[in-house]
Amino acid sequence: GDSVTQMEGPVTLSEEAFLTINCTYTATGYPSLFWYVQYPGEGLQLLLKATKADDKGSNKGFEATYRKETTSFHLEKGSVQVSDSAVYFCALGSNYQLIWGAGTKLIIKP
């Protein structure tokens, strides 16, 4: 069945460092792909999405490109801030639900 694999955390970076969180997927067809973010004590929020191959989703300085050839949707940010500390989830859209990765905790140190 469809599945999502993302890199294990926690990922610890210094402020202004470059961020990459890897996400790969297996799926039949051409699903939509999503990144969600969960700040401490809160629910998940949609960060960005891409609906077809080569689409780039972007929001709040984060970017991810839908790569069909490598079945990947890696999350990147050029310069992280302490306020980016959160748990990030990659997800794949099937017909009626989202298939979730396990989440990657990101810790940004000042």
Partner 1 sequence: DADVTQTPRNRITKTGKRIMLECSQTKGHDRMYWYRQDPGLGLRLIYYSFDVKDINKGEISDGYSVSRQAQAKFSLSLESAIPNQTALYFCATSDLSGGGYTFGSGTRLTVV
Name the residues that contact partner 1, by CB under 8 A: 32, 34, 36, 41-46, 49, 51, 89, 93, 95-98, 100-103
**Smallest distance, partner 1 to C-beta of residue 8, A:** 9
Q: Which is nearer to partner 1, 10 or 78 (CB)?
A: 10
Q: Which is nearer to partner 1, 46 or 107 (CB)?
A: 46
Q: Which is nearer to partner 1, 1 or 110 (CB)?
A: 1
Report the 10 Å Cβ neighbour count for 51.
13
List C-alpha distances in Å: 44 to 47, 66, 87, 92, 99: 9, 21, 9, 15, 14
Give the C-alpha separation, 46 to 38, whole Å: 9
